[in-house]
């Protein structure tokens, strides 16, 4: 592939959106480099799954070479499934059923997806580079500056550095995210114990949000089964790329109020896990078993934040995407999908600009004007869902945990 040298893009952050944009631009022959803070591609366990909706899947289809897109689908879980809302004893309140179509929603392992997104970008991802600012003395020739004092020149800079973005204060000065009252302790546990699935057959294809009697507490879990083993699928479709081991697992999250997590336990895996075990003691035995069998090093704390609509973009040839712009609580599973959608949209606008001569500032402004409405609709929906499902309002909580479960049969026997 011939790579144009007259147009270059520097991306801060090699997460979902940064890598997806790099794939899009590479395919179009644009000179792109990704600068990632982590010291290597797999230094952090990213051991959870992500549900891709039609926007996330469309973005991958538009950005990735065909074999890599097929790899994402073939290693993903089977299409369809349900999301069940239950009380703490796993008695059904109501259920949402997903379309049983391969391109509607797919659950994929995040580590596998990240590996797919890195494939073919050899020499274009630079690890151990923490972006701190964008120098714009020459507006047509920006420089992305790093904490080690180095810089990288580029015509366009993109901040894709996640919820704790270092570039946001400079590029979107009026849009610092606000904290929400809720946090999540995330973990993962093996799906099988002595060869038997720990998830009963009734919940085989279900994600479950179990809402506790006490408002402001809930437990989420969902099994992740690999369609094809990553090792075999990568050998066929992306030989030479790193293939995660691909053992099936259950991802879970205990959702609780921020003030219930003492500052001292943050960042300490054992105490975080102990807190999750203590706080889930009143749930169904299946929930307690998941926490008991957790892989300790996959336990993480996530403090939920809500992004604020940007009203001013300070550097015309620099922009941002993903959680760095529109952080949202994980209700509705739209954060990653929206980040991927941003990447494909920005890629499209930049490629159009190079092809038809539109000034790059205009292309970027167009991306921003299109992105903000859909992204902040998703933020608003996620914040509203969080309030409804975990808020202190007595009536909805009473209906969810007392009324609806009584109308349904018991889903999971406790014996």
Sign of the torsion formed by the C-alpha atoms of 400, 404, 410 and 414: positive
The answer to whether residues 342 and 322 touch, using CB atoms and an 8 Å cutoff, is yes
Identify the residue among 130, 197, 271, 293 touching ligand FAD (CB under 6 A).
130
Bridge partner residues of 109 (DSSP) = 49
Site for ligand FAD in 269-328 (CB under 6 A): 302, 322-324
d(CA 82, CA 222): 10
Nearest approach, Cβ of 307 to ligand FAD (angstroms)? 10
DSSP 279: H
Identify the residue among 30, 51, 125, 412 touching ligand FAD (CB under 6 A).
51
Stretch of residues binding ligand FAD (CB under 6 A), selected from 266-274, 276-284, 329-337, 357-365: 329-337
Nearer to ligand FAD, 212 or 324 (CB): 324
131-163 burial by CB neighbour count: b if 16+ within 10 A, else e? Answer: bebbebeeeeebbbbbeeeebbebbbbbbbbbb
Q: Residue for token digits 């230094």?
A: 43
Nearest approach, Cβ of 166 to ligand FAD (angstroms)? 4
Q: How many residues bind ligand FAD (CB under 6 A)?
A: 32
55 binds ligand FAD (CB under 6 A): no
111 binds ligand FAD (CB under 6 A): no
Identify the residue among 175, 339, 364, 379 touching ligand FAD (CB under 6 A).
339
Nearer to ligand FAD, 306 or 334 (CB): 334
Q: Where are the alpha helices (DSSP H) in 86-188?
A: 110-118, 168-171
Nearer to ligand FAD, 333 or 405 (CB): 333
Closest to 95 (Cα-Cα) out of 404, 414, 345:
404
Site for ligand FAD in 174-233 (CB under 6 A): 186
Q: Are strands 142-146 and 131-135 parallel, antiparallel or unpaired?
A: antiparallel
Identify the residue among 81, 335, 347, 405 touching ligand FAD (CB under 6 A).
335
Stretch of residues binding ligand FAD (CB under 6 A), selected from 11-19, 209-217, 233-241, 288-296: 11-19
Q: Where are the alpha helices (DSSP H) in 280-392?
A: 285-292, 323-326, 335-356, 360-390
Question: To 10 degrees, what angle do helices 54-63 and 335-356 make?
Answer: 40
Nearest approach, Cβ of 348 to ligand FAD (angstroms)? 17
Nearest approach, Cβ of 365 to ligand FAD (angstroms)? 20
What does the DSSP assignment read for 257-269? EGGGS-GGGTT-H
Contact positions vs ligand FAD (CB under 6 A)? 12-18, 35-38, 48, 50-51, 130-131, 160-162, 166, 186, 302, 322-324, 330, 333-337, 339
């Amino acid at each position: 592939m011939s790579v144009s040298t007259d147009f270059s893009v520097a991306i801060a952050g090699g997460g979902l959106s940064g890598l997806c944009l790099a794939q899009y631009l590479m395919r179009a022959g644009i000179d792109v480099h990704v600068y990632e803070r982590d010291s290597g591609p797999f230094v952090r366990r990213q051991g959870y799954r992500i549900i891709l909706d039609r926007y996330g899947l469309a973005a991958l289809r538009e950005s990735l070479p065909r074999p890599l897109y097929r790899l994402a689908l073939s290693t993903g879980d089977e299409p369809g499934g349900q999301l069940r809302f239950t009380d703490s004893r796993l008695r059904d309140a109501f259920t949402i059923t997903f379309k049983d179509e391969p391109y509607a929603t797919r659950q994929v392992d995040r580590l596998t997806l990240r590996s797919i997104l890195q494939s073919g970008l050899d020499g274009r991802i630079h690890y151990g580079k923490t972006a701190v600012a964008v120098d714009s003395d020459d507006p047509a020739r920006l420089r992305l500056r790093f904490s080690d004092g180095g810089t990288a020149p580029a015509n366009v800079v993109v901040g894709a550095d996640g919820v704790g973005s270092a570039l946001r204060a400079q590029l979107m000065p009026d849009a610092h995210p606000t904290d929400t009252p809720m946090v999540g302790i995330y973990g993962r546990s093996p799906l099988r114990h002595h060869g038997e699935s720990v998830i009963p057959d009734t919940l085989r294809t279900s994600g479950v949000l179990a809402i506790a009697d006490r408002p402001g507490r809930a437990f989420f879990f969902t099994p992740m089964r690999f369609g094809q083993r990553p090792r075999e699928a990568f050998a066929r479709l992306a030989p030479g790329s790193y293939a995660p081991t691909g053992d099936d697992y259950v991802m879970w999250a205990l959702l609780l109020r921020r003030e219930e997590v003492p500052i001292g336990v943050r960042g300490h895996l054992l105490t975080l896990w102990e807190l999750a075990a203590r706080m889930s003691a009143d749930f169904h035995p299946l929930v307690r078993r998941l926490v008991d069998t957790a892989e300790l090093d996959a336990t993480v704390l996530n403090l939920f934040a809500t992004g604020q609509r940007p009203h001013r973009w300070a550097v015309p040839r620099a922009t941002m995407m993903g959680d760095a712009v529109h952080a949202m609580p994980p209700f509705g599973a739209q954060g990653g999908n929206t980040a991927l959608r941003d990447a494909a949209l920005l890629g499209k606008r930049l490629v159009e600009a190079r092809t038809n001569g539109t000034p790059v500032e205009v292309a970027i402004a167009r991306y921003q004007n299109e992105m903000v409405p859909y992204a902040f609709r998703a933020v608003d929906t996620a914040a509203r869902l969080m309030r409804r499902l975990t808020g202190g309002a007595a009536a909805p909580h009473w209906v969810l945990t007392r009324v609806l479960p009584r109308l349904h049969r018991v889903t999971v026997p406790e014996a």
